[in-house]
Structure 1
Amino acid sequence: MVEELSGHEFAQFLATIWERRDWQTEVTERGEQFLVAGDQPDGTRGLILVFPGQEPVDAEAVRALVTLQEQKSLDVPVAATQGTFTDAAHQVARDNGLHLVDPSVVEETASAEGFEDLLAEYTSRGLSSRLLGLLPAVGRPSLPTVDLPTPSLGGGRRLLGLGALFLIVLLAGGLLTGALGGVPGLDLGLGGGGFSMTAVSFTQAENASVGVQWDARTQQAVVGPNGTRFEPGNDTTFLIVQFNATNPTEATQVLRERDFAVATGEKRYGPQYLQGAVGQPPVVLDAGETARGYVVFAVPAGTESATLLSRPGAEATPITFERDRSIEFQVSRG
């Protein structure tokens, strides 16, 4: 489960949970540890001190959070580990109003709410990325509040809800599918030159998502629909994502640039706007309408795999992804 993640992935996972609760988060490395700093619009300040690995975390280590709590005037101080906390560490937490999160807290919460399979799917990406390097850190989507038993991430706020985590974990080829069973939304595809591309939606709604059929390829230059040629910057290449989008809802939906991102390795990239090239977002979809569009990303030259993301946020458009290799691209190779 969470023990399978790298320290950085574990920190990103915790940031993911907080951001769904409308926290603005930032993950930084602090020696052998990580800090997940969080701020809410009402001024609430939180911090998760993350201890990677499975070694027991002792009282002295947890006291570092007490110091940070005093220095930064924290409202929600949390210590998290992929291992365990000693009894002395728990006592320090009780004495100072700290919240402790370990794998048992995560897994018991998932068990209580019936989301063991989703948790397994999310954490399995750590294994698949180590095998094939296909699943990078994928941003920090947020989770709605659910009523969970304590202990929880953030105490009385019960922030560790896993209930609406709309994750589509895309495993390499079928290598892991046989062991784990079918994964909803499985879509691994190869673009030109063996480029591997997957898609993950963090904004999927149960019955009201815009369906995005997509295909992708890399190329060194782009000629837009109006004939303008574009070239990437030094040491970068263009990644083109062409899509057909269908709006099944009764309300107008808009796909904007901010709804999309691409993750490669542990970096995330937003779309590269091509000045004057028609067909880029925003793409406006009236009720029941289908429209086409494309987004262009500039990624490091030599990138061999990437993950297309739907970016979460208060105004994000709900999206579901489906690969369609028959889609005709609006832009041509330069």
Structure 2
Amino acid sequence: MIRHIPKSEFPEFVAALWGKQGWQTTVTEKSGKSFVALQRDGAEGLIWTKPGTGDAVSGQELQQFVGICKKFGVNEGAVVTPGTFSEDAEKLGSQAGVQLVDGEKLRTIVEARELHDLVERFADGGGDESDSDEDGFSLPISIPESVPLPDEVPRKAGAVVFVAILAIVAATVVAPMILGTGGTVQTDGGWNVTANSTAPSNATGALEVRWNAKRVSKLNPKSGDDGVYKLTDGKKFLLVSMNVTNAGSDSLGLRPQAFALRSNGTLHGYQPLKNTTGFQPSVLDGGESTSVWFVFSIDADAPNATIVTTGRLRRDHVRTQFSHDETLTVET
């Protein structure tokens, strides 16, 4: 039904959807593109609304939006489309800290908030009513942000413009069966870290993940001071190493977005680092293994943290079995 919304109405539909969360929205056009400016309680953001054309939003198109955000000093940006994003666009969005909302996520939001009437109204070309909703539904979820180098200006803290809407996506996906805890690590500083092995009911693929983790105050994946990544006060890194094996017969795509960390009731995405990564997207053939590392940024006083899989693996019908391996080196 979302795909039936006329292209001319799609920006207004997106504005109405965020208006349901109590955001003040303004639809504007620049350089032939439609944007929704957001503001609430001092937080601001910009959404590029990209009506579906049959083609995935490309990395080049997303690069243009990143340039617009930089030009106008936008700290929180998102691209919303009823279609899909190319692999290059997804990679760039992760690196640039731009949220990507595709048709599947939009449908999840509509289902979660029972906003079918809103979709129908815009699909019928009647979407000119006010849609502000001060009682917006909100759940806690962290949005990954690029970690600045020491000589960079950090991104604006606390302006999590897209939390309320995007949290619905994370909160309403049907949870897989939890098979048990795949081991425990007691880190320096008192974190109790575990990993949840899971299996969707329709699992057709399988991953076996050996993992280990440690708490660190800074990262130095490259030699020299220019490669040191530091955090603000009250935060620490959890550095995770994994050896991932495709235990099935069919090839499986593997991306860092397939894993997350739950701590203090918040779901944290992995922390992208500028100009370096320990987890390149790849395809594993049956029986093939790869070793990766990545980091999460969480509260220093958090008592517990659990590594979990995200909807990406569930949508691919992948069973994931974690097992802690204390012999696995935890280094960048």
Q: What is the TM-score with the length of structure 1 in the denominator?
A: 0.45
In the superposition, the TM-score normalised over structure 2's length comes to: 0.45
Structure with greater strand share of residues: 2
